[in-house]
């Protein structure tokens, strides 16, 4: 009886890697797009961005503010297939517009960086230039439907997503 129990346990351990492979794994490109989408939520001034980030596995929080017109946020998370990402976001309120800024830095990224940058550059809503040089892939993009600017790169130094969005405020009726 003990021998059969040991055999069942041994077979379970052998089968475990095969079972684990059946799980859906996301690609580096998918993870980069998800990271950008999180950055967009912060840069657009979404009041639920911290909650959304926490739900997505980020350790996210609002930083102390130096002004009633400035909100800043920090977050960190292991981005599967890429590495540890540190996020900083800033939302500045001006009389007629809001400036949103978000940056994610991954030092020592792993995975296929060219695929991540190509996926970001191919997103609907962005257009611009992608270049590969000295082992790195770089993109400079603009929003096609809003005033957003996106710089992203993956090279020997790291992986970066840097997003700036200017959003006009609705005119007040006086």
d(CA 36, CA 112): 17
Question: Is residue 43 a part of any domain in this protein?
Answer: yes
Whether residue 144 is contained in a domain is answered as yes
Supply the mean pLDDT for the chain. Answer: 87
The verdict on residue 109 lying in a domain is: yes
- 83-93: strand order across its sheet: 59-62, 70-79, 83-93, 97-107, 158-168, 147-154, 136-143, 126-133
* pLDDT tier for residue 17 given thresholds of 50, 70 and 90: very low
Domain interval for residue 92: 28-168
The answer to whether residues 131 and 114 touch, using CB atoms and an 8 Å cutoff, is no
Question: What SS3 class is residue 19?
Answer: helix
Is 13 part of any domain? no
* Beta strand pairing call for 97-107 and 158-168: antiparallel
User: Residues 110-140: pLDDT tens digits?
Assistant: 988 899 999 999 999 999 999 999 989 999 9
Q: Has residue 19 been placed in a domain?
A: no
Distances (CA, A) of 142 to 31, 36, 123, 124, 127: 21, 14, 11, 11, 6
In a domain, 23, yes or no: no
Strand intervals (E) in the chain: 59-62, 70-79, 83-93, 97-107, 126-133, 136-143, 147-154, 158-168
Domain presence at residue 4: no
Residue-wise pLDDT for 73-94, tens only, equals 999 999 999 999 999 999 999 9
Domain count, the chain: 1
Domain-located, residue 15: no
pLDDT score for 6:
43
């Amino acid at each position: 009886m003990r021998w059969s129990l040991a055999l069942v346990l041994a077979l379970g351990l052998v089968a475990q890697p095969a079972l684990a492979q059946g799980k859906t794994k996301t690609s580096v490109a998918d993870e980069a797009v998800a990271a950008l989408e999180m950055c967009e939520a912060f840069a657009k001034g979404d009041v639920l961005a911290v909650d959304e980030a926490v739900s997505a596995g980020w350790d996210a929080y609002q930083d102390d503010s130096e002004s009633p017109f400035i909100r800043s946020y920090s977050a960190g998370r292991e981005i599967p297939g890429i590495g540890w990402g540190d996020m900083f976001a800033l939302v500045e309120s001006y009389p007629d517009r809001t400036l949103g800024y978000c940056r994610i830095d991954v030092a020592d990224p792993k995975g296929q960086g060219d695929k991540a940058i190509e996926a970001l550059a191919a997103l609907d809503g962005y257009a611009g230039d992608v270049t590969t040089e000295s082992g790195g892939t770089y993109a400079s993009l603009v929003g096609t439907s809003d005033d957003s600017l996106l710089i992203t790169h993956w090279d020997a130094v790291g992986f970066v997503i840097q997003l700036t969005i200017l959003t006009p405020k609705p005119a007040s009726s006086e």
